[in-house]
Every structure is written in structure tokens, then in C-alpha cells.
Amino acid sequence: MIIEPKVRGFICTTAHPDGCMENVKKQIEYTKNKGKKDGSKKVLIIGSSTGYGLAARIAVTYGEGASTLGVMFEKEATERKTASAGWYNTVAFEEFARKDGYYAKSINGDAFSKEVKDKVIKTIKEDLGKVDMVIYSLAAPKRKTEDGTIYNSTLKTTEEVFTNKSLDLRNNTVVEATIPMANEKEIEDTIKVMGGEDWKQWIESLVEADVIERDAITIAYSYIGPELTYPVYYNGTIGMAKKDLYNTSLDITREFKDRGIKAYISVNKAIVTQASSAIPIVPLYMSILYKVMKEKNIHEGAIEQMNRLFRKKLSNDVIVVDKKNRIRLDDYEMREDVQEQVMEYWNKINSQNINDFADVDGYWNDFYNMFGFKFDNVDYTKDIKLV
């Protein structure tokens, strides 16, 4: 089958195995070029197949020689449908890692379930003994709890209906988008899915099974962003979940003080991922941000961010945090000169001048790359056998 991108709004329903391999390879090469520290870290990554989790997996493997166990929720190919990008990424990563002599295994299933937690514990016991780092990088639309209840996360405001400019992803025009207000249940359900409860359950399960080292570090990812996106992000339903995630980091550190386990939130930069493309208003902000940060030569994608995290902000001897104990990888994004320029472009932008003020091509390039498309050195005319 010749695999072509099938884009529906903010999602692409096909993925290209060779292109996904290229995507992983490029991230490995970037990391290798930065050099490798000696180490024997054993890292569990929950949400390891795309975006920040995949980049973290690559950064710790090729930057520090880590053994990694990944957890993801991805789809295998069928006779008529390609696998999901995260599936192809994981196959490619494991192949590269094993060839290069690194331990890499992955468990495909629902990270919220007890079944997957048990599988992970069994695998750690058999293969690694204990892990010394747990990266929690889930971005999930819903969560099923043990009693069978399903909670859905929503992307709404919590204060008042919010209207602002937005990028219409179907035709690259600037339109107005209105974000409705969430009710109490929607807020609570989003916290249930994207907040810290499951992260804490993971750490509790690992401690109980004695498969996490004393003094282990666990990190989860968050976002703050500029005031411009506060109604939809920081003060929106997702922001409420992120506040809960932050409070959970304090809880975990407190609860496991006697074991020296420390939990951190890393506040990352806005980048194009499957999760972030789905947030209204954010894609327009991101394309403007890309333009500004590229002009200033400080643009970063997931792999640059994750390398900076493990090389500069969270290494064995030094952990750089702000006053609230958070790691700030959004430091370049939030720089005053960057945000001033973004606001200037935001106020000027419209459908006619969009390319003067936003890097829409860069946005789409990252978007297609995520699904393994638009790499120059991949032969997209090749007939691919799906299964």
C-alpha cells in the first residue's frame, strides 16, 4: 500500500513506518551529537511513544546510556489501516536501541489500569531489579478507573466564555474561536484524567512492589504559557489538572520522604504534538511563537528540550528549579522579549498577512513529521506491506 497522510483537522489518521523511523533516527542523531555521559540509569517512561515522552526516552538512552521501559497506548496495523505513529516510533526506537546495546522494552496498554501497572512491575523485577527514574508523560483524552467509571478530559475555560483569534487548521486562515465554559463535573473529570492521582498511584505501586530505588526521581510535565492563553490553558480545565499535578509532586515528595523519592514538575515549552494540536487557540499561538523563536535562534522542539532537561536542569549533581520547586524549560519561551514580540504579531495577524507573523509552514512541517510524513529522504512512493 502507498501510505499518504489523511489529515482531519488536528489529527492525521495514517502514519508512515519509514518516516516514523526517520523521525526517531533524527532525534537519536541530535542526542548523539551532544555527547554521552557514563551512567546506568534505569528509567520507566509512562507515555513513551510520541512527543515529550519519546524524546525523553531517546535523551536518557543516548545521552546517559539508560535502560528504558516504556508504556504507551498505541494501535498496531491491520490489513487496511496503518499502525499509529507511536507504534511505529516504538518499533523503530527499540530496534535502534537494541542494535546499539541498550535495554529497551515497551508495554502497550492502558497506563491507568492495574493490569498494566502489574505488567510493568513484573518486567522491572525480571529485567531491571529496580528503576531510579520515573517519567510521567501521559496526555490522554480519557481514563477508566478500576470500578469501570470512564472520565473524559475537556478543553474548556473555567471563568467565562472566551473568544479570541485562532488558526483554522483546515485552510490556514485566522478565524475567531469561542471556548465554552466547563461545568463542575467537566473540571473534576479533567483533573481525574490529567491531574496527579494516577501518577501517585504509579509511585505507590512501585514502592509497594519494591521496584523503585531509594532517592529515585520522578518527573511529570506541565505547561503555563502566556496570559494570552490563560483562559484556555492555565485557567482552563487542563490548567486545573496541571495545578493538581503540581500539588501531587509535593505530595509524593512528602509521602516518600523516608525513601528519599523526589517528585518534580518540569514546565515545558509549547510544541506541536498530537496532544497540543487539539487545544483551541494554541496552534495559532504556537505558530507565532515558532516564528519569533526561530527569528531569535532559540527555537526548540521536543528533543532539544529533553536534552536540555537532562543535561542542564536535571542531572545527577544539579537540579535547577524555580521558587516553587519547578524545573523551567519554558524559560526561553517566557522571555520578556519573546513574549512582547509574540503579542505584537498576535495583534497584527489576520488571514491576509498570516505568513508574515506566523510560521504556519513550520507548524505543519512538525505536524506531518509527527506522523512520519514530509521527510526528504523517505521514499513515499514505496509500496508498504501493512501486516
| Choices 170-178, 199-207, 265-273, 306-314 (CB under 6 A): range interacting with ligand NAD | 265-273
* Least distance between ligand NAD and beta carbon 109 (Å): 7
Q: Does 275 bind ligand NAD (CB under 6 A)?
A: yes
Position closest to ligand NAD via CB: 51
Q: Does 73 bind ligand NAD (CB under 6 A)?
A: yes
Distances (CA, A) of 145 to 152, 190, 309: 11, 13, 32
* Least distance between ligand NAD and beta carbon 88 (Å): 12
Q: Does 300 bind ligand NAD (CB under 6 A)?
A: no
Q: Does 140 bind ligand NAD (CB under 6 A)?
A: yes
Residues 111, 69 contacting (CB under 8 angstroms): no
Q: Does 49 bind ligand NAD (CB under 6 A)?
A: yes
* Least distance between ligand NAD and beta carbon 379 (Å): 26
Q: Does 167 bind ligand NAD (CB under 6 A)?
A: no
* Least distance between ligand NAD and beta carbon 232 (Å): 13
The residues, ordered by sequence, that sit 6+ positions from 246 with a Cβ below 8 Å of its Cβ are 196, 222, 265, 324, 326
Of 257 and 265, the one with the shorter C-beta distance to ligand NAD is 265
* Least distance between ligand NAD and beta carbon 90 (Å): 8
| Choices 24-32, 70-78, 348-356, 378-386 (CB under 6 A): range interacting with ligand NAD | 70-78
Q: Does 71 bind ligand NAD (CB under 6 A)?
A: yes
User: From the list 134, 169, 193, 271, which residue makes contact with ligand NAD (rule: CB under 6 A)?
Assistant: 271
User: From the list 44, 121, 134, 139, which residue makes contact with ligand NAD (rule: CB under 6 A)?
Assistant: 139
Q: Does 86 bind ligand NAD (CB under 6 A)?
A: yes
Assigned C-alpha cell, 22: 526517520
Residue in 210, 45, 221, 194 with CA at minimum distance from that of residue 133:
45
| Choices 68-76, 95-103, 352-360, 372-380 (CB under 6 A): range interacting with ligand NAD | 68-76
* Least distance between ligand NAD and beta carbon 260 (Å): 25
Q: What is the 3-state secondary structure (H, E, C) of the chain?
A: CCCCCCEECCEECCCCHHHHHHHHHHHHHHHHHCCCCCCCCEEEEECCCCHHHHHHHHHHHHHHCCEEEEEECCCCCCCCCCCCHHHHHHHHHHHHHHHCCCCEEEEECCCCCHHHHHHHHHHHHHHHCCEEEEEECCCCCEEECCCCCEEECCCCECCCCEEEEEEECCCCEEEEEEECECCHHHHHHHHHHHCCHHHHHHHHHHHHCCCEEEEEEEEEEECCCCHHHCCCCCCEHHHHHHHHHHHHHHHHHHHCHHHCCEEEEEECCCCCCCCHHHCCCHHHHHHHHHHHHHHCCCCCCHHHHHHHHHHHHECCCCECCCCCCCEECCCCCCCHHHHHHHHHHHHHCCCCCHHHHCCHHHHHHHHHHHCCCCCCCCCCCCCCCCC
User: What residues numbered 222-261 form the site for ligand NAD, per CB under 6 A?
Assistant: 222-223
* Least distance between ligand NAD and beta carbon 223 (Å): 3
Q: Does 293 bind ligand NAD (CB under 6 A)?
A: no
Q: Does 107 bind ligand NAD (CB under 6 A)?
A: no
User: What residues numbered 188-227 form the site for ligand NAD, per CB under 6 A?
Assistant: 221-223
Q: Does 276 bind ligand NAD (CB under 6 A)?
A: yes
Residue recorded with cell 466564555: 161
* Least distance between ligand NAD and beta carbon 245 (Å): 8
Q: Does 74 bind ligand NAD (CB under 6 A)?
A: yes
Q: Does 23 bind ligand NAD (CB under 6 A)?
A: no
Among candidate residues 88, 151, 233, 234, the one labeled active-site is 233
Site size toward ligand NAD (CB under 6 A) is: 29
The yes-or-no answer on residue 290 being catalytic is: no
User: From the list 23, 27, 31, 50, which residue makes contact with ligand NAD (rule: CB under 6 A)?
Assistant: 50
How does strand 212-222 pair with strand 262-267?
Answer: parallel
Residue recorded with cell 521496584: 211
Residue in 69, 133, 136 with CA at minimum distance from that of residue 103:
69
The site for ligand NAD (CB under 6 A) is made up of: 47-53, 71-74, 86, 110-112, 137-140, 221-223, 268, 270-271, 273-276
Q: What residues are annotated to the active site?
A: 233
